[in-house]
Amino acid sequence: MDLFLFTKSSFLSYSCILLIIPTIIFIFIKSRSSSSSSSSSKQRRKLPPGPNKLPFIGNLHQLGGPMPMHRILQDLAAKHGPIMHLNFGHHPTIIISSPEAALEILKTHDLVFSNRPATAASMKVFRKGPSIGFSNYGEQWRQMKKLASIELLSTERVKSFRLVREAETDILIRTIHDYCCSRKQTVNLSEMFLCLSNNIIGQVAFSRRFSTEGECNRSEHHDLIREIIQLFGEFFMGDFFPSLGWVDVITGMQAKSIAVFKRLDEFLEREIDDHRLSSDDDHNSQHGEDFVDVLLELQRNSKLGFPITADHIKVILTDIFLAGTETSALILEWVMSELVKDSRVMMKVSDEIRKVVGNKERVEEDDLQKLEYLGFVINETLRLHPPLGLLLPRESTEDCKISGYDVPKKTRVMVNAWTLGRDPKLWEKPDIFYPERFHGSPINYKGNYMQFIPFGAGRRICPGTQLGITTIMIALANVLFHFNWKLPNEMPGENIDMTESTGISNRKKSPLILMATPICC
Ligand code: HEM
């Protein structure tokens, strides 16, 4: 069977259509004929699949399309079972949708499945050094991940950026206030949340804001990050059919990724040079050291026992920007969408915050631990809307058995975290947004409960969990403390558009535009 989903056309310039279409038809015919010839040769040889062989479902050539990939794979899993063998182009891939198999991949055989398959985009963006998110497992990767986890994203370091998060949240609240009271306008929360998380990461990494206070206009940097993230979701022919990598030259995809990478490289180079040139006295950030300071200091004192080059520094900063900006913003977008849709939960969580914070001017980070229901609301959103529905793909380094099936070396694996979070065998009424389900439940997002793995699990688990969750909690608590929210034009909350976009991250398709009413006026 061939499952052809070929609907995304943005990357095709008109002149390339002439070339691409015959190529696709050729591949289609070739893959059909090879699958039918192999099945007829199987019949001829009368070789039924062995007991350990994972049945082959078909070829999936997903180039975007109207449905997000995690949904397509969920539909297929409902038909073919929770462990499927598909080919993505030339790459044998298994898709995991059961908690037992996920546990085997992410925990029991974590080491075997700790590689990341290289993609055209990752090779361009990370061509200079070992990326934490996209490199294969190995000594260099271990060093980089340890460096990020201990020196940049540790509990202590995350706490040290508290003033940054609180100050940026204040700016967000002032901006919303200005929109709804002075300008009498609706609020584009999607843009504002992206601005917020971009500025928090900008401050934490470089002591720099990327947009003017009061405006959420898109800065050059803002657009650059968005373009890189989009690049990871784009179709590169070479990723599916390595021998057809030349098609990416003709379609302009290769030039596009080189150009984006060059802009990123120049931007990082400037930031690092500025930090090198400015003495400690000049350095006037609100929180002491930023990530570039920490990395330059580690480079100078060689404390880590391995050399850190300028390229290492750039790669780590790129990882953090790519992984840390959009993820937090899109969770905030989904939480607010779910709350507007369900007035009961909106009221309950807002009441909790207002009761706990009382007469204070704002919610501070010390208040967050008292906001139990807010925590449940965030968990429930992460269950229904994990930003990376398929986590990040992995690849096996040796032959292995999963749920009794043979999985050969170099097989790609995708774990469908989105499906696991909505499995009716694992969750009661899974499609209902019901934060109370986390009350008294031991289930958390730390990678030990396979039905709930929004941050992944095992060696490749997200190292930015704490920074991400703290950013989300402080922003959300303040947005709910200061304002009441509803859809514009008296539209009932249940009419909100909850359609998901396609691409690598699970965003809302349409921006979240709401009416805010300040509590104090
Ligand atoms: C709050 C929202 C976030 C979510 C839901 C999230 C989710 C994820 C997921 C699912 C993965 C892949 C895990 C796997 O393959 O098992 C990942 C990896 C990663 N995340 Fe996050 N993330 C978030 C925030 C952040 C932040 C704020 C940072 C850094 C500032 C960050 C840095 C990374 C890095 C570097 C990796 C690659 C880890 C590796 O491959 O070893 N993330 N994240």
Question: Read out DSSP for 414-439?
Answer: EE-HHHHTT-TTTSSSTTS--GGGGT
Please give the distance, rounded to the nearest whole angstrom, from the Cα atom of residue 324 to the centre of ligand 1. 7
Q: What is the DSSP letter of 91?
A: E
Nearest atom in ligand 1 to 141's CA = 41
In the chain, the amino acid numbered 111 is: L
Res. 15 pLDDT band, cuts 50 70 90: very low
* CB of 460 closer than 6 angstroms to any ligand 1 atom: yes
Interatomic CA distance for residues 462 and 468, integer angstroms = 10
Percent of the chain residues topping a pLDDT of 90: 56
- Answering whether pTM is above 0.95, one says no
* CB of 325 closer than 6 angstroms to any ligand 1 atom: no
Percent of the chain residues topping a pLDDT of 70: 83
Is it the case that residue 21 has pLDDT exceeding 50? Answer: no
* CB of 393 closer than 6 angstroms to any ligand 1 atom: no
Quick one: tokens of 29? 């015919």
CA nearest ligand 1 atom 42, residue: 464
Res. 24 pLDDT band, cuts 50 70 90: very low
Residues at the binding site are: 462
CA nearest ligand 1 atom 1, residue: 468
- Segment 455-482, tens digit of pLDDT: 999 999 999 999 999 999 999 999 999 9
The answer to whether residues 389 and 416 touch, using CB atoms and an 8 Å cutoff, is yes
Is it the case that residue 86 has pLDDT exceeding 70? Answer: yes
Among 455, 460, 505, which residue has the most ligand 1 atoms within 8 Å of its CB, making it the best to mutate?
455
Please give the distance, rounded to the nearest whole angstrom, from the Cα atom of residue 53 to the centre of ligand 1. 33
Q: Could you report the predicted ipTM of this complex, rounded to two decimals?
A: 0.98
* CB of 324 closer than 6 angstroms to any ligand 1 atom: yes
Beta bridge pairs of residue 188? 513
* CB of 202 closer than 6 angstroms to any ligand 1 atom: no
The answer to whether residues 348 and 376 touch, using CB atoms and an 8 Å cutoff, is no
Q: Which of 188-192, 257-261, 279-283, 456-460 has the lowest mean pLDDT?
A: 279-283
CA distances (Å), origin 426, targets 78, 377, 404, 506 = 15, 19, 22, 22
- Segment 132-150, tens digit of pLDDT: 988 899 998 999 999 999 9
What structural domains and CATH numbers belong to the chain? 14-518 (1.10.630.10)
Using alpha carbons only, give the angle 398, 401, 402 rounded to the nearest 5 degrees: 115
